[in-house]
Amino acid sequence: MPLTCKSLLQTHTEAWQRATVHPFLTGCQQGTLQPSQFNTWLVQDYLFVKDFTRMVGRVLAAAPDPHLDALLAGLVALKDELLWFQAKATERQLDLNTPRQGSCERYCEFLASLAPAPYPVQATALWAIEYAYNQGWQLPGPMPAPYTEFADRWGNPGFTDYVNLLAAQADGALATANESTQTQAERAFLRVAELEAAFWQMAFTPED
Ligand code: HMH
């Protein structure tokens, strides 16, 4: 049986829960998060998304022809997202020229480390990274202002369709992958889960 995105979620429910359910997100939903905590996440996520965009560029370079369209759409969305992060930072008077915190740095190092990985591994990691935010921002339920637009960005139906397409592409690539590649894909999935949990936590421990 080849590995699939669904089987990864079924095998690793607890790791995935830690990646997608966090006091940061419930704090947004309940209005109890400190603005400074939110701002820490906002700046660090902008730094992450810049490197993530470069990773998606590398996934595109490794992808088979039928996968190009979805990945190009993803890159177009990221172009808009980077400008949107800049606008949000300006509104909040945040300095984007800030060093990466440890958890952001480690996540960016992981993204870079995927460069030589076989395409099925890269496709699985890309799906997991996008699905983490798609689920994380949706699970708490409707978010009040000023967080509504943040929840919508990753929770909207168009983004959900995109994530489903990424899962189908990862599954397609995994279907013919050898065992060693499947093992690498599973490790990448677990590493994404771990790095996502640490990324939320960073807002509460600014030194990390
Ligand atoms: C940490 N993971 C993190 N930031 C993001 N913006 C995404 C995933 C989704 O794109």
Shortest CA distance to 89 belongs to which of 153, 48, 41, 50?
41
Domain range spanning residue 130? 5-201
CA 45 to CA 148: how far, in whole Å? 17
Q: What type of residue is 129?
A: I
Does an H or E element contain 40, and which? helix 35-62
Nearest CA to ligand 1 atom 10: 130
pLDDT of amino acid 130: 98
Radius of gyration over alpha carbons of the chain, in Å? 16
Ligand 1 pocket list (CB less than 6 A) = 45, 48-49, 129-130, 132-133, 196, 199
The Å distance, Cα 138 to ligand 1 centre, comes to: 14
- Ligand 1 atom with the smallest distance to the CA of 49 is 6
Going 90 to 92 to 95 to 96, the CA torsion angle's sign is: negative
Ligand 1 binding pocket mutation candidate from 46, 47, 52 (most atoms within 8 A of CB): 52
pLDDT of amino acid 168: 98
Shortest CA distance to 188 belongs to which of 2, 3, 1, 48?
3
Here the CATH number for the domain that contains residue 105 is 1.20.910.10
Could you tell me if residue 11 is inside a domain?
yes
In the chain, the percentage of residues whose pLDDT exceeds 90 is 97
- Ligand 1 atom with the smallest distance to the CA of 199 is 1
CA 47 to CA 105: how far, in whole Å? 9
What pLDDT digit, counting tens, does each position of 55-89 carry?
Answer: 999 999 999 999 999 999 999 999 999 999 999 99
What pLDDT digit, counting tens, does each position of 184-195 carry?
Answer: 999 999 999 999
Cα angle 165, 23, 164; round to 5: 5
The Å distance, Cα 58 to ligand 1 centre, comes to: 17
CA 154 to CA 159: how far, in whole Å? 6
Nearest CA to ligand 1 atom 9: 130
Ligand 1 binding pocket mutation candidate from 47, 71, 80, 196 (most atoms within 8 A of CB): 196
Q: What is the mean pLDDT of residues 167-181?
A: 97
The Å distance, Cα 176 to ligand 1 centre, comes to: 28
Could you tell me if residue 68 is inside a domain?
yes
Residue 18 has pLDDT above 90, yes or no: yes
* Total domains in the fold of the chain: 1
Could you tell me if residue 16 is inside a domain?
yes
Could you tell me if residue 28 is inside a domain?
yes
- Ligand 1 atom with the smallest distance to the CA of 132 is 8
Could you tell me if residue 207 is inside a domain?
no
Could you tell me if residue 127 is inside a domain?
yes
Q: What is the mean pLDDT of residues 124-150?
A: 96
Q: How many residues does the chain have?
A: 208
With bands split at pLDDT 50, 70 and 90, how would you rate the model's confidence at 205? Answer: confident
Could you tell me if residue 206 is inside a domain?
no
